[in-house]
Amino acid sequence: MVRLVGAAVLALATGVALVSVGGAVLWASPILLTGHWFALKNSHGRIQMLWVVLAAATAAEATWLLIYAASESDDWPIMLLALGVGALVFVVGWRLCDKREEVH
């Protein structure tokens, strides 16, 4: 029960940080990404993909905000770099997922 409540709080906090306008995801990303990693390791099946997707979205958004805050430029290469970081986090997270469903 405690894990379920913790997972719900983590998912809600991630959603709030991602939709916030003030850049909360940039400051919360170290905590959120750590929480996503622990949630991924402590869950099984399709729920793991939820944590992978949330971690990838958090990493992409935090990367974009960090580069935007440093350069104050919103050119398309910055967005591509942020999407690349998000894709990298997705691939690494996907590889950490259980593959038990594939083995019969």
- Domain spans in the chain, listed from the N-terminal domain onward: 2-96
What is the rounded distance in angstroms from the CA atom of residue 16 to the CA atom of residue 11?
9
**Distances in whole angstroms, Cα of residue 81 to Cα of each of 97, 98, 102:** 24, 28, 32
Q: pLDDT digits over 32-84, tens only? A: 999 999 999 888 888 899 999 999 999 999 999 888 888 887 777 888 999 99
> Could you tell me the pTM of the whole model?
0.85
pLDDT bin (cut points 50, 70, 90) of residue 100 is low
**Which pLDDT score is estimated for 104?**
46
**Chain-centroid distance, C-alpha 63:** 11
Structure tokens at 83: 């999407």
Label residue 91 by pLDDT band (50, 70, 90): very high
pLDDT band at 97 (very low <50, low <70, confident <90, very high): confident
Whether the per-residue pLDDT at 102 is higher than 70: the answer is no
pLDDT greater than 60 at residue 101: no
